[in-house]
Structure 1
Amino acid sequence: MKNFLTLASVCAIALASCNKDTVTPTGDFNAGLPSKPQKHLPVDVDGLITQNFLSKDTVWLIDGISFVRPGQTLEIQEGTYLTTGTLKPYTNGGATVNIGGVLVVPKTAKIDAEGTAAEPIVFTSPKATGRAAGDFGGLVLLGQAPTNRTTPPVIEGIPQPIGVDVTYGGNISADDSGILKYVRIEFAGFNLTPDNEINGLTLGGVGSGTVLSHIQVSWGRDDAFEFFGGTVNADHLVALSTDDDDFDFDFGYTGTIEYALSLKDPNSTNSTSGSSSDSNGLESDNDGTGSAASPKTQPTLKNFTFLGINNSTTAATKLKFGNRWRRASAMTITRSIIAGYGTGVSFESITAAGSTFSDNVVHGYTTAITGTPTPANYTGNSTSTAATANSYLLLGSPTANPFYQTAASGTTSYNPLILRPTASSPAYGNGTTTYKGAFQPGVAAWTQGWTQFSPKTY
C-alpha cells in the first residue's frame, strides 16, 4: 500500500507550504509479514542468542524472552522483519505467565540494527489480519549510564528471577548499547503486573554512546518510548496510537531528543486511572515518590509535535494531558507544538529552578497550561483554547484536519503528514530557523519512506 505523506487535494489548497511528498516504500507495509521463510531465533537454555547476524531473507521468530549475549553484538540487516514466535512460560511471584516476542539487550551487549528509509527494520505482529496491541513483546535496551537509584534496579516488565542480569545503570555516561536507526516497532506491549509493563522501546540506563535515530513505535499496549535514567540522545522519533504515554521519563534521564512526533488515536485503547483516561503525550517523574534524588530527571526536548485528537468530546474521553511534568522532574522543552488535549500542559510539583519551557505553541480545549510553579525560563509561548486544535494551529491547511478527528467509523482514515505549519500558523516563525514542531514548513517530511501510518482493523 502506498504511504502518502501528503494528499494532492490539500496541497492544492496550501501550495505555499506543500511539497510533492508522495512516496511508495519498499515492501507491503500494511499486510503484515512479508512472504519469506521463517526461522526461530536460536537461543541456549538461558535464552541467550547463539547467532550474531540476522539476514533479511528470513522472518525471525523471537521465542519467549531472548537476550543478546553480554559482550556480544547482534547485527540485524536492513529490511529484516522480526516477530513473536513461541510463547514461553515464566514464573513471576508464584504465578506463571506466558510471554513471547521480547528482545533484551543487557549491559555490555550491543545491537546493530541500522535500516534505511527504503528498507527499515521492522518488529511487528505475527498476524496477517486482526493485529492488535500486545501481539509483539517489545525491545529492551539496558546500559551502564547513571540513574538516580542508589543500587542498579531491575528493568520493569521482565519476570524475576530469570537467570540473566536485567539490572541497569552505573557510572559510564558514554556507555554504548549499539544502534537503532530506521526501525519500526509495532503492536508491542506486555503487562506483567499493574505498573510493571514492557513498552514498545524500553531504555534503562542507556548511555550517550548509543545511537537512536528514525524510530517509530505504533499501536502499543503501554508506552511507546520509556527512558529510565541514562544519558542517551535521540532524534526523529514517532509515537503512534499507543495505549498509555508516548514519551515517559523517569529515574534521572538527562538526554536530548530532537524532532519527534506524538499522535494519539481515537480508535486505540487508552490506559485509565480510576475511571478516567491516563493517556498522555508525555509524562515525566524524578521518581515515583517525587524525591530530590540526583541526577534530576531533566530531558531536553526540541522541535516536538504532540497531537491528541481534533475533536474536543473524543479528546476528553480518550486522553489526559499533552504534557504532564510532575514529581519533582525538571525540563527543557523548546520550539514545540502541544495540542488536541483537554489540557495541553500540566505542571505538577516540578523543579522550577533550571527548567525551561519556551517558544512553544500550546492548545487545550479547556486549559492550555495549568499548574504552579512554572519553569524559571518561561518565555515566548503562544496559547489557545480554540474549539478545534487545527483552527488554531493551521497545519497543512486551515480547512484540512491533519490528525485524528473522530472515532465514529470504527477505523480511522488518516491523512498522515500534513503537519507542517502554514505561513499563518503561530508555529511558523520565520519558516526556516524559528518554526515550532517536528516539521519544517516547505521541506519534505523526514518521515517519508520508512514510516507506517495506515490504520489497522480494530
Structure 2
Amino acid sequence: MKSLFASVLTLSSLTLLAGCGDDDDTNNTPDGGGDPQATAQDVKGSITGDTTWKAGTTYTLKDYVFVESGTLTIEPGVIVKGDTGSALVITREAKLNAVGTAEKPIVFTSSQAEGTRAAGDWGGVVLLGKARINVAGGENTIEGFFATSGDTRTKYGGQDDAHDCGKLKYARIEFAGYELAEDNELNGLTTGACGTATDIDYVQVHKGADDGVEMFGGTAGLKHIVISQPDDDGLDYDLGWRGKVQFLVVQQNATVGNRGIEASGNKNDNVAQPHTVPEIWNATFIAPAVRRARLRRRRAWCSTRARAASCATSSWRTSRTRRSTWTARPPRRCGTRPPRSSPSRTPSSGTTRATRSPSRTRRTRRRTRRAT
C-alpha cells in the first residue's frame, strides 16, 4: 500500500503543479488542427485525419468536437479548455494519442476564469470503441447524447475486444460532466467499448458533475487513477465491462458525492452476455468526515461480478481503515437473491449468534484475516 500512496502523491503533485493556462483566448477560427503559430486556438466541429495539438498552445473547445478519423495527438503540457456544452469525443474510427509526462501533464479543464470554475462547466473526454457490450444489437449511444439523434458518431460497440481507442497518460480532467438533459450527462472520462489495446494510465479526474470515470462495456484497463470529489460515483461500470484496474484512489465529495464504485450489468436483461466482470487491485476509497465510502453493486446484480484485492476504505467517522479481499462470486440464477442465513443459527454449528462467545468470534476473524 505504500507504493500506492507514493503513486497518488506523485500524480497529484505533478498535476497540481501544472497551471490551468492563460485565460486570454484569442478568437482564431481554424479547423481542428489550428494555426501552429498561434498560442490560443478555438476548436469546433469535426476533425478528420491525423492532427496534432502543439505544446505551448491553449485549445478551447467551442462545442462537441468529434474526431471522426485519424489520430488526434496532444503533446505534453497542452491545455485544453471546454466551453459550456462542449466535449472531446474520439469516435470508433479514430484514436487519441494524449501522452503527457510527469513534468508536463496534459490538462483538460473549464474555459471559465480561474476561481470561478465548477463541476459541469463542460462535457469531458469520451473514448468510443468496437469491443463487445451486452446490449441488444451489440451497439449503443454513449451517455450524454440523445439516442434518437441518429448520429453514428456517438455510437459504440462491436466485436473486437482488442480494439485500440488510443492512449491517455499523465493527464488531468477537471470540472467536467455537462448535463445535456436530466439524468443524461457526460462524466469526467467516459469510455464506451474500448478494447485491451487502449492505454489509460496516470489520470486524475477532479470535481466532475457526474461520475469520475465510467466504463460502458469493453475490456479497457485503468492504471494509476485518482478520482477526487465527484458529484456522483467515483468509478462506475456496466454493460459487460471486463477490464482490469490497478492503483485506484477515490476521494468522495463531502456534500453531494454518492458511491465509491457503482457496478451494474444490463438493467434490462440480467442474462445478457458478456457479464460485467472486472478485476480491481490496490484500490483505496476515502470518505469525508460526515460520510462513509460505499461500494455499490446495483440493478442487474446477478450479471455483475468482480474480483478485487488489496483494497482499503477509510471512514473518518470511525477513524479506522479496513482492508478487504473480494473474490468473484459464482453466477446465480437471475431474478432471485441469494438466500439469507438464519438470524439465529449458523450452518457450521448449533451455537446461536446470541450466545456465541465474543472472544471466539474475534479469534475467528483474526484467523480469517491471516488466511487472506
- Normalised to the residue count of structure 1, the TM-score between the two structures is 0.61
Separation in structure 2 between the aligned mates of residue 342 and residue 189 of structure 1, nearest angstrom: 29
Please name the residue that 2:125 is paired with: 139
CA shift in 2, pair 1:35/1:230, >3 Å: same
Q: 1:196-253 CA distances to partner (integer Å, 9 max, x unpaired)?
A: 2100001100111111101100000000110110011121011000000110010000
Q: By how many angstroms is 1:25 displaced?
A: 4.3
Please name the residue that 2:52 is paired with: 53
Please name the residue that 1:187 is paired with: 175
Point out where structure 1 has 5 or more consecutive residues left out of the alignment.
1-5, 7-16, 88-98, 271-278, 356-370, 375-425, 437-458
Native 8 Å contact 1:206 1:230 kept in 2:
yes
Residue 46 of structure 2 aligns to a residue whose secondary structure is: coil
Residue 96 of structure 2 aligns to a residue whose secondary structure is: strand
Q: Greater CA radius of gyration, 1 or 2?
A: 2
State whether structure 2 residue 193 is matched by structure 1 residue 214: no
Separation in structure 2 between the aligned mates of residue 203 and residue 149 of structure 1, nearest angstrom: 16
Which residue of the other structure, out of 106, 114, 128, is the alignment partner of 1:121? 106
Please name the residue that 2:145 is paired with: 158
286-295 or 38-47, larger mean C-alpha shift: 38-47
Please name the residue that 1:248 is paired with: 236
Native 8 Å contact 2:66 2:153 kept in 1:
no
Q: By how many angstroms is 1:131 displaced?
A: 1.2
Please name the residue that 2:256 is paired with: 269
CA shift in 2, pair 1:46/1:60, >3 Å: closer
Q: By how many angstroms is 1:134 displaced?
A: 1.1
Question: Which amino acid counterpart does residue 84 of structure 1 have in structure 2?
Answer: G
Over 3 Å off, 4+ runs? 21-30, 34-41, 43-46, 341-345, 371-374
Please name the residue that 1:325 is paired with: 297
Separation in structure 2 between the aligned mates of residue 269 and residue 61 of structure 1, nearest angstrom: 28
Q: By how many angstroms is 1:289 displaced?
A: 3.7
Separation in structure 2 between the aligned mates of residue 186 and residue 323 of structure 1, nearest angstrom: 23
1:74-93 paired onto structure 2 within 5 Å? 74-85=72-83, 87=84
Q: 1:81-130 CA distances to partner (integer Å, 9 max, x unpaired)?
A: 00124x5xxxxxxxxxxx12x00001020000000011000000122222
Native 8 Å contact 1:352 1:373 kept in 2:
no
Task: Tell me which protein shows more helix as a share of its residues.
Answer: 2
Please name the residue that 1:441 is paired with: none
Please name the residue that 1:110 is paired with: 95
State whether structure 2 residue 31 is matched by structure 1 residue 42: yes
Q: By how many angstroms is 1:143 displaced?
A: 0.2
CA shift in 2, pair 1:229/1:41, >3 Å: farther
State whether structure 2 residue 166 is matched by structure 1 residue 178: yes
Which residue of the other structure, out of 67, 71, 76, is the alignment partner of 1:73? 71
Which residue of the other structure, out of 219, 224, 230, is the alignment partner of 2:218? 230
Please name the residue that 1:339 is paired with: 314
Separation in structure 2 between the aligned mates of residue 108 and residue 114 of structure 1, nearest angstrom: 20
Native 8 Å contact 1:41 1:49 kept in 2:
no
Question: Which amino acid counterpart does residue 243 of structure 2 have in structure 1?
Answer: G
Please name the residue that 2:276 is paired with: 297
CA shift in 2, pair 1:131/1:162, >3 Å: farther
CA shift in 2, pair 1:335/1:290, >3 Å: farther
Question: Which amino acid counterpart does residue 353 of structure 1 have in structure 2?
Answer: P
Residue 110 of structure 1 aligns to a residue whose secondary structure is: strand
Separation in structure 1 between the aligned mates of residue 18 and residue 149 of structure 2, nearest angstrom: 37
Separation in structure 1 between the aligned mates of residue 102 and residue 310 of structure 2, nearest angstrom: 26
Please name the residue that 2:360 is paired with: none
Question: Which amino acid counterpart does residue 335 of structure 1 have in structure 2?
Answer: S
Q: By how many angstroms is 1:182 displaced?
A: 0.4
Separation in structure 2 between the aligned mates of residue 191 and residue 342 of structure 1, nearest angstrom: 32
CA shift in 2, pair 1:25/1:156, >3 Å: closer
Identical aligned residues as a percent:
32
Question: Which amino acid counterpart does residue 262 of structure 2 have in structure 1?
Answer: E
Question: Which amino acid counterpart does residue 315 of structure 2 have in structure 1?
Answer: G
Q: By how many angstroms is 1:191 displaced?
A: 1.7
- Normalised to the residue count of structure 2, the TM-score between the two structures is 0.75
Residue 148 of structure 1 aligns to a residue whose secondary structure is: coil
Q: Which one scores higher on RCO, CA 8 angstroms, separation ≥ 6?
A: 1
Residue 144 of structure 1 aligns to a residue whose secondary structure is: coil
Separation in structure 2 between the aligned mates of residue 82 and residue 339 of structure 1, nearest angstrom: 34
Question: Which amino acid counterpart does residue 119 of structure 2 have in structure 1?
Answer: A
Separation in structure 2 between the aligned mates of residue 24 and residue 242 of structure 1, nearest angstrom: 19
Point out where structure 2 has 5 or more consecutive residues left out of the alignment.
34-42, 341-365
Separation in structure 2 between the aligned mates of residue 25 and residue 217 of structure 1, nearest angstrom: 14
Separation in structure 2 between the aligned mates of residue 18 and residue 81 of structure 1, nearest angstrom: 26
Count of matched residue pairs = 313
